[in-house]
Structure 1
Amino acid sequence: MTPTARLPLLFLDVDGPLIPFGASQPYPTYETGPENPGARENPLLARINPQHGPRLTALPCELVRATTWMEDANTWVAPRIGWVAVHHPGPALLHRVEPRQGLRDSDYAVLDSWLRRRAGV
């Protein structure tokens, strides 16, 4: 990829992909450290698997939040997964994540494959 080439954008929602919902059984919860950002304000934040951060940042793309969480995504979600996004024009892949399950290995495989094809990797 040339220095002036731009990476594809990955628009990622919070509800469903990062915070699964709607299943009949309980979801696993994750601690993020002694401060556990936002736990009192929104107990659903405990469903965010911090391992999503490294996996998302390893994809050959730039992450952009596409969520109704607005500024709360910066305040409560970003610290849990190390999320930093820069917005610019670029190719797009629309991929639905099953909200009852959240991001799974198969979702990462689809994203990684598409992004690597776009990047010529």
Structure 2
Amino acid sequence: MLLFLDIDGPLIPFGAPDAAYQVFERRAGLPPGGGGHPLLDRVDPGLGARLTALGCELVWASTWMDDANEVLAPWLGLPPLPVVPWPDEDEPPALIHWKTRPLVEFAAGRPFVWIDDEITEADRAYVAVHHPAPALLHRVDHDYGLTEADFRTLREWLDRQAPD
């Protein structure tokens, strides 16, 4: 099972007043400043272990591209992850998110979870029609990032996919 992971919103919450966010200490051995990203200290380093515990193949699905492996993976205690290559398109597709088609293509018929803060019903409809395997498109509130409720939803869905 693939798990496509967006960064801005799900991992780095934004949109609420700065005082609303917990600030996490940088781990020893990591460069100060989070590779120059000013909001990295909003990312709970424990999310890496929680995401790994879901038992999925984690894949970056973010405009961070390879920077995710240089900056965020060490922060989260993750190894370098595969990165979805994005096509060079001048015009985004109508109605669906610009990531939707490339994620379906990358999945190549394999079941997947997509965690993002911009998923819509149009994306769910597209995946339902164009992807033969189970898929959970889970929208995270960018004000808060991944929460306990999100992890419960992910675990419940993944448990339902497990073979009997």
Q: Could you tell me the TM-score, scaled by structure 1's length?
A: 0.83
- 1:13 has 2:6 as partner: yes
Q: Which runs of 5+ in 2 are unaligned?
A: 83-105, 112-134
Percent identity, aligned pairs only? 50
Count of aligned pairs: 114
Secondary structure in structure 2 of the residue aligned to 1:14: coil
Match of 1:52 in 2: 47
- 1:33 has 2:27 as partner: yes
- 1:42 has 2:37 as partner: yes
Q: 1:60–1:116: 8 Å Cα contact kept in structure 2?
A: no
Aligned-CA RMSD value? 1.9
Q: Which runs of 5+ in 1 are unaligned?
A: 1-7
Give the drift of 1:35.
3.6
Q: Compare the two structures and name the one with the higher strand fraction.
A: 2
Asked which structure has the greater CA Rg, the reply is: 2
Secondary structure in structure 1 of the residue aligned to 2:157: helix
Match of 1:74 in 2: 69
Indicate the structure whose relative CO is greater, using CA pairs within 8 Å and at least 6 residues apart: 1
